[in-house]
Structure 1
Amino acid sequence: MNFADYKGIWVYIEEKEGSIAPVSLELLGAGRQLADKRGVELAGVLIGHGVKHLDQTLFEYGADTVYVYDAPIFDHYRTEPYMYALLDCCQKYKPEVILYGATPTGKDLASAVATDLPTGLTADTTMLDIEEDTGLLLASRPAFGGNIMATILCKKYRPQMATVRPKVMTALQPQPGRTGKLVEESILLREEDVRTKVLEVVRETTKKVRIDEADIIVAGGKGMGSKEGFQLIHQLAEVLGAAVGASRDVVEAGWIGHQHQVGQTGVTVTPKIYFAIGISGAIQHLVGMQNSGLIIAINKDPNAPIFQACHYGIVGDAFEIVPLLIEHFKQALSHMNEAVQTEEEVRHA
């Protein structure tokens, strides 16, 4: 391959129901750094139906160019039409790097595109860098159960591609009024040419808080002793309206499902408040929550590494401290509700 033909950093822009996925804005921030280091442009590839108006948001978050495929056939995500659109764009403009969010959609699309081009794909990346002179993408991800970080290179093919975990990159502060170049593209693809059909869209009705979207997370570790002891974590989370998180040891012990695992081999989270209860603070866990707004740790070991990463630490037995917190939070919330009710009564009067 003639690498000189491939230039620019691209981000696949994931869109759903008229909104841009937060991970896409995060990747524009990371892509901006890579593009500036290489001295090339940053582009977003936006595919959907009725999405062209989102280009201004992408410019404000760092994109220089936005390639848009806007047609009814892209109304709902399906692998085939989205893959054909992205392949068409790649063949026309030849990027050297494409980044995708490590979401169900991003993983599906990236793997399909990588197979057809063909090129390499690094999955679940947590760190990105690029060699200024060669343009070689340095995509790092946890390996061997999260015990080491592996940096994966794609030396022989272009574009280089990676899926990146949500919440590990930081979106730029938007610059209102910033503009760029909008390139409208299209492909000749009929509905009858697509093998999968959308028969019905079932909206998610669960009221459970998704851990990666929660403002408050109460996470427990093996210091809770047992599955029964871990119920104390659920009780505190219920009082606070929080999501429940867990360390790897807790998940492997079967106390809670993997979707609650925080860390290198789990979910990366950035809540406003993070309670780490009975969690020692191994590096594999810390990298998944260290960017939380406020970290409160409870552990009976005063030398636990978690105390080096938290804002507030309580040394003591969680089974004595957490019930006190639950009681005090209940009282505080009750007083708040009474105050709100009184204010509403005064307003109506």
Structure 2
Amino acid sequence: MKKHRIAVIPGDGIGLEVIDAGKKVLETLVESYPSVGFEFKDFDWSSKRYLEKGQYIPDGGIEELKTFDAIYFGAVGSEEVPDHISLWDLRLKICQGFDQYANVRPARVLPGVTSRLQHADKIDWVIIRENSEGEYSGNGGRVHQGLPDEVGTEVSLFTRKGIERIHRFAFDMAMSRPRKKLTLVTKSNAQRHGMVLWDEIFFEVAKDYPEVEINRELVDAVTTTMVLKPERLDVIVATNLHADIISDLAAALSGSLGIAPTANLNPSGEFPSMFEPIHGSAFDITGKGIANPIGAFWTAVMMLEHLGEQTLAERLMAAVEEVIGSGLQAPDLGGKATTREITDAVCASIREKASVAA
């Protein structure tokens, strides 16, 4: 039996609930199709741990993570810890430490989901977010703190290496899709240095992909395209900040943040990649049993694809679509189903399909 070692970091808030649900459907999947197995190891890296011990990640933790095939991550964020500490000390420390420079966020309206967008059936996008530099490089500082002339700087950092590799990744993604279309999102009319470099390298790389149809949109303009003409978009590539924002819009237009997945990829395979739903800690619903686990399930599908388990990925996605298409939906989609009810239904669908196949 082929076995994949998965590091599990539920983190904070509803992350614990949806990642537990995700583990259950993955375990059901391999029980039903026993040619593959998973070895899970849970890590208590959370804001609770930070408050108790002063660290999100213990000494040697990053080195231990290197031994795993993938990381299944829930959420980070607490009302008791400043956001910049929780984000930089956990999620970004892993992303940057493992050079997970390609953030991939697919968006489409799943069966049975009602979007507030009139032409939501036209949404079938993959947003590629540069995940290692740009606006979130951490370059900057503060001086004269607390004084009237205090100054804070946040310097966007763009390198030729970082820009070229994310553009090539995006072009390869576009090549793998039927429409072979790639939209460059930028703000080079106002940001005349790093963003102009971003644009120039895109068009340099485009020469190596003549089969891909390209277009360029400013980040403010692309939000209107997403709402008014969603059919114009397919694969989108953008900087760290810009893609962060438009991918949340994409999730909302697709129905809810609760169903959206993310992959933080180290394409070379030198380090493990990390997979997480995008909804965050959601402390307003933590512990109520109503968190939507679909985002965690779709994230697990992406993890399976990355691990080379395409057939298992398709089986899990089919079960997810069957359940959500039946109308069994969480409150964020207008339904009344609990996290457990949705999880049990997806597990039952997996078992039923495996029984029929046998």
> Same fold per TM (> 0.5)?
no
Q: Which structure has more RCO (C-alpha within 8 Å, separation ≥ 6)?
A: 2
TM, length-normalised to structure 2 = 0.29
Structure that is richer in helix per residue: 2
- TM-score normalised to structure 1 length: 0.30
